[in-house]
C-alpha cells in the first residue's frame, strides 16, 4: 500500500509563514490524488481545511492555502495565529483507497 509522508513536526513564530508538505511513495503527487488537508486539536475530531488540492471550505480561514509544490501536496499558513497550533494531516486518493499521511505537529512559538 502507498505510504504518505509528512514532516513529523514544525515550529513557526506567531505571524510567520510555514509550509507543510505531503509526499507519496509512488511518485509525484498530482491533482489526480485529490489532496485533502485536515487540522486536529487534542480531543477533537479532525476538521477539514482543503479539498482537491487548493479548494477551501466556507469555514476555512483565509490564511490557509493548498497547492502542489515540487512533486508534493502543500499546505501553507500565512500569518500564523496561536490557535493554529495543532496536528495537520494530508489525505490522498491512491487509485481507489484513500491514505492519510502520518501527520505534522505544528508548534506556534
Q: By CB under 8 A, name the one of 1, 27, 82, 109 that touches another protein.
A: 1
Residue 93 CA to residue 80 CA, distance in Å, equals 28
Determine if 45 is a binding residue for another protein (CB under 8 A). Answer: yes
Determine if 56 is a binding residue for another protein (CB under 8 A). Answer: no
Q: Which three cell numbers stand for residue 37?
A: 488537508
Q: By CB under 8 A, name the one of 19, 48, 54, 67 that touches another protein.
A: 48
Q: Which H or E run contains 13?
A: none
Q: Which of 90, 83, 92 is nearest to 104 (CA)?
A: 90
Determine if 47 is a binding residue for another protein (CB under 8 A). Answer: yes
Q: Footprint of another protein on this chain (CB under 8 A)?
A: 1, 36, 38, 40, 45-48, 51, 57, 89, 91, 96-103
Amino acid at each position: 500500500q502507498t505510504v504518505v509522508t509528512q514532516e513529523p513536526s514544525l515550529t513557526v513564530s506567531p505571524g510567520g509563514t510555514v509550509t507543510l508538505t505531503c509526499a507519496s511513495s509512488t511518485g509525484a503527487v498530482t491533482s489526480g490524488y485529490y489532496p485533502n488537508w485536515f487540522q486536529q486539536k487534542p480531543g477533537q475530531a479532525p476538521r477539514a481545511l482543503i479539498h482537491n488540492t487548493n479548494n477551501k471550505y466556507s469555514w476555512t480561514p483565509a490564511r490557509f492555502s493548498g497547492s502542489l509544490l515540487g512533486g508534493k501536496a502543500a499546505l501553507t499558513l500565512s500569518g500564523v495565529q496561536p490557535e493554529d497550533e495543532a496536528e495537520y494531516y494530508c489525505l490522498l486518493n491512491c487509485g481507489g483507497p484513500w491514505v492519510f499521511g502520518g501527520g505534522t505537529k505544528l508548534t506556534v512559538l
